[in-house]
Copies of this chain bind each other. A is one copy, B any other.
Amino acid sequence: MIRETNEWLTFERRFQQIIQLSNHTVGQNRLVYSPNWIAAQSALIRFGQQIGLTVMVDNYGNVYLDLPGKDDQVIATGSHMDTVIDGGKYDGLYGVLGGLQAINALKNRLGTPQHTLRLISFSEEEGSRFNITFSGSKYYALHQSVTALTDADGISFEQARSQAVKQLQSLPNVIAKRPAIPASFTELHIEQGPRLITSHDQIGLVSGIVGQRRWTVTVQGESNHAGTTPMNERHDALQAAVTMISSLNQHAHQLSDNLTFTVGQLNVSPNTSNVIPGTVTFTIDARHADDHVLDVFEQSINTTEHQLADSQIKVHFKRYVKDSPATFDTTLLSQNELIAQQLGLTSRVMTSGAGHDSYVVNQVSPTTMIFVPSEGGISHAPNEFTQPADLKAGIALLMASLQAQAY
């Protein structure tokens, strides 16, 4: 546990320092490679150097703070430094500074560990500046590079990346390096959903990440005059879309309580009050921990068109995302479950409905995640909030978990 008041105050001070660097009129803004982001990663590097950690920065701006152990095996923790536009204070940053705090406390209390402890601050996870997500962890864990992307202002990823990385790597005592893959990775993160708040658990132990598929659907009918076209001679694209969405929603509900089904985007053409819609496009986002459930749902999507009474309505589906579910390491999960119990923390095992850097790192290294509650389930918004007691509980569990693995 963070028993000492001054340990919590150190975390608080660092946290306030970074969010003040990123304060925007509305929310937090640390888009990857932006001035705010460079300032935040630079501050983190200073925090690490102040407590004697070894600092590495790779060519994508991922920051690694190592507490060298008696051997080369690496036990890692961390999360991402970037935010969405006008985001909250906790998404990403909590896991970075919580991880630093855990290593800091272990160093102070127990000295040199058996295995090396590493804090990773990934450069980018949100995909809010360039049209790519997880570019930091993909570069570290999978050695994947980004090709030919530009942001909304026309600045290329390459230009933004090279300028920002140059600044970080030229700071005193920074080693330009992408270190080797760790023996394990634990990510501390806010839940970003309401399940822990609803169940009154302090900790979520994440068993994996749901599979996710997305489609665009184009419904082609016939645009016509809203007054002069009798109801039985219409080919109304919006009414067809409404029928399909109703039917799919019902089907998703019957298939599994845990299947999330979202039509987030819908556009009507010509979108005029007195004209029958000729074309409607909409998106479907479906997520479930079991790929088979998503397969069955995908079949129902493909047959929805045939349920339309009007054969002159043409429907075109295009799947543009198919991410398989991820199952995290069961040993780390069981270990954390036991430690949470020993610390007197109430916990539940759950899957994550959102993607995380852990989804990427899990492909090369045993990985687990620790969730803490998000008030109101709110995230990606300025009013994102987690109670201090819950922040402390999460850091305490991470600390005990790293201790069990590294000492």
Residues of A within 8 A of B (CB): 191-195, 198, 210, 212, 214, 224-233, 236, 238-239, 242-243, 245-246, 249, 252-253, 257-268, 271-277, 283, 285, 287, 352-355, 377-380
A249 and B380 alpha carbons, distance in the complex (Å): 36
A228 and B91 alpha carbons, distance in the complex (Å): 13
A399 and B354 alpha carbons, distance in the complex (Å): 72
The closest CB in chain B to the CB of A270 belongs to B264
Residues from chain B with Cβ under 8 Å of A238 in the complex? 245, 263-264, 266
Asked if residues A353 and B228 are in contact (CB atoms below 8 Å), the reply is yes
Residues from chain B with Cβ under 8 Å of A229 in the complex? 193-194, 260, 353, 377
Asked if residues B377 and A264 are in contact (CB atoms below 8 Å), the reply is no
What are 25 A-B residue pairs whose CB atoms fall within 8 Å in the complex? A192-B228, A193-B225, A198-B233, A210-B227, A225-B379, A225-B380, A226-B285, A227-B352, A227-B353, A227-B354, A228-B377, A231-B253, A231-B257, A231-B261, A232-B257, A239-B249, A242-B246, A243-B246, A262-B273, A264-B268, A264-B272, A264-B274, A264-B276, A265-B268, A273-B283
Within 8 Å by CB of A227, from B194, B246, B260, lies B260
Asked if residues A195 and B265 are in contact (CB atoms below 8 Å), the reply is no
Asked if residues B271 and A264 are in contact (CB atoms below 8 Å), the reply is yes
A264 and B195 alpha carbons, distance in the complex (Å): 38
Return A23 CB to nearest CB of chain B, in Å: 22
Residues from chain B with Cβ under 8 Å of A253 in the complex? 231
The closest CB in chain B to the CB of A226 belongs to B262
